[in-house]
């Protein structure tokens, strides 16, 4: 193994784990991308380092992206950290954030191989989408005592969503906050923007290349494991 190749591989790896993108289009990282795609030894070292660190590497439209996966204690975020970053307090609020992100994903992709050709989403679109996705669960809440709702259930996040007014005031419509549906979605949009998943332009949120890269690659690869997790949950629910 040549020292030079090792150096390049480490350079790529450190750029990736500090959140930089390695892209052929970016003049600062083009040479690194070139090394990664044309030098087999560099590729092997980067790939194997990522694998050992439980990181997933994806190449999409001449750019390399890295994902910590869903159970990475070193490089991933814990729920507590996420609550602090997004700006929510309760677990049910955090899961509502996850649900909002999920509904954003489904606006752009019905499944991983079929992008929906939706170019962008607006805050209102997502408020309506969450409303309709939670519609059935919301119906069942009316029949239940709110104290009986389990913390990690859909009813819990539906109740949290339902309790939010659409907007607090006309002036505060565009403000991100936990106090209203629009504010909540805006808060999640801000977080997604920080995570380089969405790009904002005049209130329109476009999916980033990073988001597309991860959606089109990660879930297909991990399909079996995700359904296993789902199966585990359903078995727990049965007992």
Partner 1 sequence: MSEEYVLTRDIIYDHNERMLNIKKYYPFFKLSEISFRQYREGKYDNLDMGYILMAVLRFFIEKNNFNEESVTYESYEKFMSELLRRDFDIRTDKEEEKEIISFIFDKIKNDGKPFVYSYFNPVDKKRQSVRTRIIDSKIVDGTVSYTISADAVEFYLDTKEIKDESDITIDQVLLAKLIASKNFRGGTEVVRRINSEVGKLIARKNEVLNILSYDVFQGVKAYEEFNRTGIRWFEEEQKLFVKNKELISQALKQGESENNYYSAMEDIYQLEQELNRAITRHGRLLRECTDLQVKADDIIARAKLGRLRTSFDFRDFLKNMINNNSVLPLQNIVKPLFGIGIHKSFSLGSVDNMLTFKPDGNETGEKISSEEEEQYVYPDELEEERIKSNYGIFMESLFAKIISDKSFTLGEWVRELNDKTGYDVMKNADFYSFIVHLCQKKEYNLIQSVNRPDTFLEEIIKEHYMIEEERQLEMHEEVPELPDIVFSITSVTGSDEVIEKEGVACIANLRIESIE
Q: What residues line the site for partner 1 (CB under 8 A)?
A: 16-19, 55-56, 66-71, 75-77, 79-82, 84, 95, 98-99, 101-102, 105-106, 109-118, 133, 136-137, 150, 152-157, 195-197, 211, 214-215, 218-220, 222-223, 226-227, 229-230, 233-234, 236-237
Min dist. Cβ of residue 177 to partner 1 (A): 21
Task: Please name every residue paired with 207 in a beta bridge, in sequence order, or none if there are none.
Answer: 198
Query: Which residue in 210, 212, 219, 215 sits closest to 20, CA to CA?
Result: 210
Q: Are 9 and 45 in contact (CB under 8 A)?
A: yes
Cβ nearer to partner 1, comparing 2 with 81: 81
Min dist. Cβ of residue 120 to partner 1 (A): 13
Give the integer Cα–Cα distance in Å for 222 and 216: 11
Name the CA dihedral angle for 184, 187, 189, 193, rounded to a multiple of 10 degrees. -170
Q: Are 176 and 183 in contact (CB under 8 A)?
A: yes
Cβ nearer to partner 1, comparing 36 with 99: 99
Cβ nearer to partner 1, comparing 171 with 235: 235
Query: Which residue in 183, 169, 165 sits closest to 97, CA to CA?
Result: 183
Min dist. Cβ of residue 66 to partner 1 (A): 7
Min dist. Cβ of residue 234 to partner 1 (A): 5
Q: Locate 199 and state its tokens.
A: 């790009």
Give the integer Cα–Cα distance in Å for 218 and 233: 21
- Residue 87, Ramachandran bin (φ over 0: left; ψ between -120 and 50: alpha; else beta): left
Min dist. Cβ of residue 164 to partner 1 (A): 17
- Site of tokens 């193994």: 1
Cβ nearer to partner 1, comparing 17 with 30: 17
Cβ nearer to partner 1, comparing 2 with 85: 85
Min dist. Cβ of residue 118 to partner 1 (A): 6
Cβ nearer to partner 1, comparing 25 with 223: 223
- Site of tokens 């629910």: 237
């Amino acid at each position: 193994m040549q020292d030079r190749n090792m150096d390049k591989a480490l350079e790529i790896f450190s750029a990736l784990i500090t959140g930089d993108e390695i892209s052929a289009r970016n003049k600062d990282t083009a040479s690194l991308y070139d090394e990664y795609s044309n030098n087999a030894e560099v590729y092997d070292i980067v790939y194997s380092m990522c694998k050992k660190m439980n990181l997933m590497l994806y190449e999409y439209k001449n750019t390399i992206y890295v994902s910590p996966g869903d159970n990475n204690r070193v490089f991933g975020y814990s729920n507590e950290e996420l609550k602090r970053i997004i700006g929510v307090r309760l677990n049910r609020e955090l899961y509502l954030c996850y649900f909002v992100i999920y509904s954003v994903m489904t606006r752009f992709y019905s499944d991983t191989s079929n992008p929906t050709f939706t170019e962008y989403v607006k805050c209102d679109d997502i408020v309506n989408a969450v409303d309709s996705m939670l519609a059935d669960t919301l119906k069942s809440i009316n029949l239940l005592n709110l104290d009986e709702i389990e913390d990690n259930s859909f009813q819990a996040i539906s109740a949290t969503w339902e309790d939010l007014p659409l907007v607090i005031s006309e002036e505060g419509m565009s403000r991100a906050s936990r106090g209203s549906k629009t504010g909540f979605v805006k808060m999640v949009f801000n977080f997604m923007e920080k995570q380089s998943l969405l790009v904002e332009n005049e209130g329109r949120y476009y999916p980033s290349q990073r988001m597309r890269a991860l959606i089109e690659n990660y879930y297909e690869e991990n399909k079996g494991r995700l359904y296993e997790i789902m199966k585990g949950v359903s078995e727990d629910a049965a007992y």
